[in-house]
C-alpha cells in the first residue's frame, strides 16, 4: 500500500535541495539563487510540478528581474523639457561668477515634479544598483535640512529616496532610513559643487567634487526592492509640505549602476568643476 504524498515527510532529495539553496543564498545574488532553486526543482519527479510552478511565481514576486536598458536620465531636463514649462516661482538664473545656469526656487514656488513612470517606462522597480550625480550651489549654511531631490509615494507623501544637505553634512535617505555624511574640509557655500551618490550591494558611497569620497557599509533587508508604482520625483523639496531648496540646481542625473563618480567624473567634468569653483 502506497502512502499518500500529502502526509509524507519531504524526501531526502528535497532536504538536500533546501540545504543547497541555503548555501546559494550566501554565495549568489538573490535572483541567481532563485534561478538555481528553480533549476533544482525541475529535477524532481513529475508530481512535484506544482511545487516548481509555485516556486517560479514566488521568485518572480520576491526577486523581480532587473530592468534592462534603463538609460542615463537627466531628471531636470526630463521634468522641464522647455523653459516655457517652468512651474510658478521657478526661474533659471545665470550665475555670472561661474558662467553657469541653474534652477532657483522662490519661497512660494511649486516644486518641479516628474512621475517615476516617465523614467521607468517598462519597469515597476528602482534599479538594484544606482547612482545620482548632482551639480548644485548652496546659498547659505542653514541648520534646517534642504532637500535637493526626493522620490515620494503619491498616496501618503512619504519619501522613499532623497538627497538633502544640512550645514556641513549630506543626508541620503533610502527606504525611510537616513545615512549622514560629513562634507569635505573647506566645503563652501556660494560655490558650485558636484555630488555623486552610489548605492550597490557593497554599500553606499558619496563623492564630493570628484575627489573627496566617503563610504558606508549597509546591511540590506532580504529582499531589498523599491517599487516605483505610484511614485513621483520631487526636485527642490522632499514633500509637498516641506520647505524649498535655497540655492541653484544645474543638473540631476540618474545612472543605473554602482558608481556615478567613475562614470561621470571624467577629466572634462573635473576641469569644469575647477572652473566653476574659482573665486
Domains defined for the chain, CATH in brackets: 12-62 (no CATH), 73-276 (2.60.120.200)
Measured between alpha carbons, how far apart are the two ends of the chain, in Å? 91
Higher pLDDT, 223 or 194: 194
Beta-bridge partner residues of 163: 149, 172
In the numeric block, the cell 513621483 is attached to 232
Q: Cα(126)–Cα(88) distance, rounded to whole angstroms? A: 29
Q: Is residue 189 scored above 60 in pLDDT?
A: yes
Please report which confidence band the pLDDT of residue 132 belongs to, taking 50, 70 and 90 as the band edges: very high
Q: Cα(113)–Cα(129) distance, rounded to whole angstroms? A: 23
Kind of pairing, strands 112-115 and 100-105?
Answer: unpaired
Helix axes 30-42, 49-62, angle to 10 degrees: 170
Q: Cα(141)–Cα(130) distance, rounded to whole angstroms? A: 29
pLDDT tens for 52-82 read 566 656 666 656 666 666 788 999 999 999 8
In the numeric block, the cell 531648496 is attached to 245
> Is the pTM above the cut of 0.75?
no
Average pLDDT over the chain, rounded to an integer: 77
C-alpha distances in Å from residue 45, one per residue of 5, 14, 19, 40: 12, 11, 19, 11
pLDDT tens for 199-226 read 887 789 999 988 888 999 887 664 567 8
3-state helix/strand/coil string of the chain: CCCCCCCCCCCHHHHHHHHHHHHHHHHCCHHHHHHHHHHHHHCCCHHHHHHHHHHHHHHHHHCCCCCCCCCCEEHHHHHCCCHHHCCCCEEEEEECCCCEEEEEECCCCCCEEEEHHHCCCCCCECCCCEEEEEEEEECCCCCCCEEEEEEEECCCCCEEEEEEEECCEEEEEECCEEEEEECCCCCCCCCEEEEEEEEECCEEEEEECCCEEEEECCCCCCCCCCECCCEEEEECCCCCCCCCCCEEEEEEEEEECCCHHHHHCCHHHHHHHHHHCCC
- pLDDT attached to residue 79: 94
The C-alpha angle 96, 97, 99, rounded to 5 degrees, equals 55
Amino acid at each position: 500500500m502506497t502512502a499518500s504524498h500529502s502526509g509524507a515527510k519531504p524526501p531526502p532529495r528535497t532536504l538536500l535541495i533546501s540545504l543547497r539553496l541555503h548555501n546559494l543564498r550566501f554565495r549568489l545574488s538573490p535572483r541567481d539563487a532563485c534561478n538555481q532553486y528553480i533549476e533544482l526543482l525541475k529535477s524532481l519527479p513529475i508530481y512535484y510540478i506544482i511545487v516548481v510552478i509555485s516556486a517560479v511565481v514566488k521568485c518572480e514576486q520576491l526577486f523581480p528581474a532587473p530592468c534592462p536598458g534603463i538609460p542615463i536620465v537627466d531628471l531636470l531636463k526630463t521634468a522641464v523639457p522647455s523653459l516655457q514649462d517652468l512651474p510658478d516661482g521657478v526661474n533659471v538664473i545665470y550665475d555670472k561668477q561661474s558662467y553657469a545656469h541653474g534652477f532657483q526656487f522662490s519661497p512660494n514656488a511649486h516644486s518641479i515634479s516628474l512621475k517615476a513612470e516617465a523614467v521607468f517606462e517598462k519597469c515597476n522597480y528602482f534599479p538594484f544598483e544606482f547612482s545620482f550625480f548632482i551639480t548644485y550651489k548652496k546659498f547659505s549654511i542653514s541648520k534646517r535640512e534642504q532637500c535637493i531631490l526626493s522620490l515620494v509615494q503619491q498616496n501618503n507623501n512619504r519619501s522613499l529616496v532623497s538627497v538633502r544637505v544640512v550645514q556641513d553634512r549630506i543626508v541620503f535617505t533610502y527606504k525611510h532610513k537616513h545615512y549622514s555624511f560629513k562634507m569635505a574640509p573647506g566645503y563652501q557655500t556660494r560655490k558650485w559643487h558636484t555630488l555623486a551618490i552610489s548605492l550597490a550591494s557593497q554599500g553606499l558611497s558619496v563623492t564630493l567634487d570628484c575627489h573627496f569620497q566617503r563610504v558606508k557599509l549597509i546591511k540590506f533587508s532580504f529582499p531589498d526592492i523599491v517599487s516605483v508604482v505610484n511614485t513621483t520625483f520631487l526636485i527642490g523639496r522632499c514633500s509637498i509640505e516641506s520647505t524649498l531648496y535655497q540655492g541653484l540646481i544645474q543638473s540631476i542625473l540618474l545612472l543605473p549602476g554602482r558608481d556615478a563618480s567613475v562614470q561621470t567624473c571624467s577629466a572634462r567634468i573635473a576641469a569644469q568643476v575647477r572652473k566653476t569653483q574659482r573665486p
